[in-house]
Structure 1
C-alpha cells in the first residue's frame, strides 16, 4: 500500500506550546530595544542640555565681578565633567544597542533554524512508508503522518483537527497503546489482519513511550506498517523448506515401499482368484475387497510421492499459452457440463509475450486448478480462465463462483497432504506450487463468499529452471 506525500498533521508534536514560548522572548527583545532607544534619546537630550548650560555660563562669566570668577570656573568644570559622563553614557548606550541588534539577529537566526528543522522533521515523517501516530497519556491521538492516515483512515475526508481515537477496526492499536502507557514497557511486532477493498492485508504494529527533553512522559508513539508482501514471502520460504525435506523423503519412501506393495497387491489378487472356486463367505470377500482397496489407495499415495519427488528437471520450450489453455478447457468441458458449470475463457487478442515452459507440467497445474474449481461447485456455477500480459510477465487466472475457502484454512492450502475432501490426497496444490516455483513464478489466491481466484504469475523469457 503506497503512502502519498501530504502535509503532515501535527497537533501536538511541534505546535503545541509554541506560542507561549515564542511570544515571551520576542516581547523581551522588543522591550530591550525600546529601552536602549529611550536611554539613547534621554542621554542625547541631557548632553544637549549640558552644552546649552555651559554656553549660558560662559556668557554670564563676562558680566561677573572678579571675585565670583573662581566659583564660575569651578561650575563650568563640573558642567564639562557631567557632559563627559553624558558622552560616556551615550557610548555605553550605543554599545548596548549594538548588543541588542546582535541578540535580535541571533534570535531570528535561531528561529529560522528551528523552522527549517521543523519543516525537515515534517518532510521526514511525510516521506516514511511507516505509519507514525503520537498519543497523549489518555491514548488520544495527537498527530499522525500521511502513511498512518492511508492505513487507518483510507476513505475518510479531512475534518477539523482530525480524529482523536483509533478506528474500531484497529482495536489492536488501542490495546497496545493502553498497555504501554500502563506498564511503561515497549511492544514490538504485533501482527493483525485488515481488509482493504475486500483484500486481506497484514499490518505489523508496535508502541513505545513518548518523552520530552526533560524525560517527562508525554504519551506514546505507535508505529504501524503494511507487511503483507513480507508475510507472503516468509510463507513461501517456509513452504520451500518443507518441500525440500519432503522431496527427499518422498523419493526414499516411494523406492522402499513400491516393491513390497506391488508384491502385496499381486498376492491379494492371486488369493481372490484362488478362493473364487471355494465359494468364500461374504466376510472373506469383504476382507479381500478392503485389502485390495487399501492397497490401491497406498499406491495412489506413492504415485503422488513420485510426482512430487520427480518434479526436479523441466523441459523448457516456447509454448503458446492460448493453445495450452484451450486444450485443458476441452479436457475439462465434459465434466463442467455434467455439473452445470458455465465454462468460459478471456484471452487477449494481441500476441502474448514469449514464455518458456514445460508444457506438460503447466498443463498439470492448470488442470488441477480447474478440477479443484469444479469440485467447489457441485451444484453448478461459473468457471472462468483469463490471461493478462505485462511488460515482463504473464498472469494466468482461474476463477470460480464457489463458496470460497474458509479463512482459517487459507494459510494451509499449499501444504502437502492438506485437503478438505474425503477423496483427495492433499498433494495437488503442493505439486502445483512447486512446478510454478520452478518456472520462476508465483501462485497466489484470493477467496471470499463470491468465490476463489487462483493467479499464476509466470515471467517471460526465462531459460533455466530452478531446482
Structure 2
C-alpha cells in the first residue's frame, strides 16, 4: 500500500451504491417512458392517417362520427405531447441527480484525501487493528516507529513487526477485554544502537452503528521528553543538595579546621617520642580522615557554589588536544589508544568558562580510563548539531550496568573505592550553567558521553 494511501476499510463511509441504484432505476424508467411515448406517437400518427383515408370515402351521414373519432385522436395526440414534456422534465431531473452524484463522489474523494493527508502529516503513529489484533492500516509515522517498510504492516500483528512492540498487542487485548481506553504506556526500543522511549495508548474503533470493529493505537516518540524529565528531577535533587551542602560547609568546616589544627599540634608534641608507635599511627589515621572529610566539604562547596562563569571565547578543539597531551603518560601506562575526530574545517569558538569546561572533559576522560583497566580505545569527537557544539567522549569498556544508569549523575554516587562520586554531578552542573546538556549511551561495547553546548557567532 503506498505511503499516502489508507486502507478503505478503516473509514465507515457510504460508498454511493444507494445513489447509483436510484440513478440507474431513474434511467431505466426514463428509457421505458421514452419508448412508450415514441410508440404512442407512432400509433396515433398511423391511426390519424387511416382515419383521414376513411373520411374521404364516407357518406355525409357518417361524417359526425368520423369527426368525433378524429377529435379523440387529436386528444390522444395532446396527451402524447404532455407525456413528452413529462419525459423531458424527467430527463432534466435525472441530469441534476447525476450532477449531484458526481459532486458527492468528488466531495467524498476530497474528504478521504484530506483525511489521508492529515494522518500522513501527524507526528505520532496511528495504527488500526481488527478484533483479532491484526493491523489494518498504518500512517507513515506508525510504520517508521515500528521499523517497517513502505508496504509492510497491514496483515501483521504488532509483535510480528518486532518483539519489542509486544506491549502494543498486550494493550489491544486489554482494551478488547475491559472495553476501556488505555493511555500513556511507555516502553523502550533499541534503534541503531540508541535507546528510544515510546509512549503508546489504545482506544476502541467503532463504526456508525456504535459497534466495536477493532482498536486504534497511537504511538509517540517521547525520548527527548523523558530525558528532559530526568534532567528536571536531577535539577530538583541538586537544588536540595546544594542548600544542604552550603549548610554543612558552614556548620562543619570551622570545628573541623579546629580539630585538624589540634591534631597537628599533638603530632608535633609527640614527634620526639619514638617509643609510642601505636599513638603515632592513630594520630596519622585521624589526620588522614580529617583531611578526607575536608575534601568532601570542599567538593560540597564547589557543588553548591553559584559563582558566575568566567566566560570567554574558547576553542574546544584546542582544549581536547591539550587534554590528550596531558593524559598521554596515563594512557600509555594503561595501553590505551587515543583517537581524536575533529572536523576538517574549524567549527569556531564558543563562549564558555574554559577552566570549568576543561574540568568537565578531564572528568569524562578519567572515568573512561577507569572503565578500561586492561586497555582499550579512548575517543574524542567534535561535531556540530544544529545550533549546538557536540563533544563526544567514548570508551570501549564494559558499559554501565542498567540498574545504576539512572544514578550516575547523582552526587556522591560511585562504584569505585576511591573518589567522592561528585565528578559527573559537577560535570552536569557545569554544563547546565552553560545552558547545555550532557547525556550518555552505553552497552557491552562501551560508553559514550555526549555534551551539547550552544554556539554563538564569534565577534
The normalised TM-score by structure 1 is 0.90
Rounded Cα–Cα distance in structure 2 between residues aligned with 1:461 and 1:25: 65
Q: CA RMSD in A?
A: 2.5
Residue 418 of structure 1 aligns to a residue whose secondary structure is: coil
Picking from 308, 333, 340, the partner of 2:303 is 308
Is 1:53 equivalent to 2:80 in the alignment? no
SS in structure 2 at match of 1:330: helix
Q: Is the 8 A contact 1:134 1:144 kept in 2?
A: yes
- Give the superposition deviation at 1:289: 5.0
Contact 2:3 2:151 in 1 (8 A): no
Structure 2 residue aligned with 1:144: 138
Q: Report the equivalent of 2:429.
A: 434
What residue in structure 1 maps to residue 26 of structure 2?
32
| Aligned residue in 1 for 2:9 | 12
What's the counterpart of residue 422 of structure 1? 417
- In 2, Cα distance between the equivalents of 1:76 and 1:393? 102
Aligned pairs for 1:21-420 (under 5 A) are: 21-23=15-17, 25-154=19-148, 156=149, 158=151, 162-166=155-159, 167=161, 168-272=163-267, 277=273, 279-280=275-276, 282=278, 288-389=283-384, 392-420=387-415
Q: Does the 8 Å contact 1:418/1:427 carry over to 2? A: yes
Is the CA contact (8 Å cut-off) linking 2:172 and 2:215 kept in structure 1?
yes
Distance 1:240 1:430 in 2: 10
Instruction: Assess if the C-alpha contact under 8 Å between 1:356 and 1:462 holds in 2.
Output: no
Q: In the alignment, is the contact (CA less than 8 A) between 1:311 and 1:435 conserved in 2? A: no
Contact 1:355–1:461 (Cα < 8 Å) also in 2: yes
- The Cα shift of 1:27 comes to 4.1
Q: Which runs of 5+ in 2 are unaligned?
A: none
Q: Is the 8 A contact 1:177 1:220 kept in 2?
A: yes
- State the number of aligned residues: 454
Tell me, yes or no, if the aligned pair for 2:313 and 2:352 is still in contact at 8 Å.
yes
Helix, strand or coil: the match of 1:12?
Answer: helix
For 1:170 and 1:143, locate their aligned partners in 2 and report how far apart those are by CA, in whole Å.
Answer: 16
1:448 to 439, 443, 449: 443
Deviations 1:353-372 (A, max 9, x none): 12122111111111111111
Distance change in 2, residues 1:298/1:321 (3 Å): same
Q: Distance in 2 between matches of 1:247 and 1:159?
A: 53
Is the CA contact (8 Å cut-off) linking 1:396 and 1:456 kept in structure 2? yes
What SS does the corresponding residue of 1:185 show, helix, strand or coil?
A: coil
Q: Is the 8 A contact 2:303 2:426 kept in 1?
A: yes
> Which has the larger displacement, 165-174 or 341-350?
341-350
Task: Provide the C-alpha distance between the structure 2 equivalents of 1:260 and 1:311, rounded to a whole number of angstroms.
Answer: 24
Contact map agreement 2:158 2:166 (CA 8 A) in 1: no
C-alpha separation in 1, matches of 2:428 and 2:10: 49
Q: Alpha-carbon deviation of 1:201?
A: 0.5
Distance 2:158 2:168 in 1: 10
Distance 1:269 1:137, change over 3 A: same
Distance 2:26 2:207 in 1: 31
1:306 offset after TM fit, Å? Answer: 0.9
Q: Distance in 2 between matches of 1:419 and 1:146?
A: 44
Contact preservation (8 Å) 2:30, 2:91:
yes
TM-score by length of 2: 0.91
The residue matched to 1:121 in structure 2 has which SS?
helix
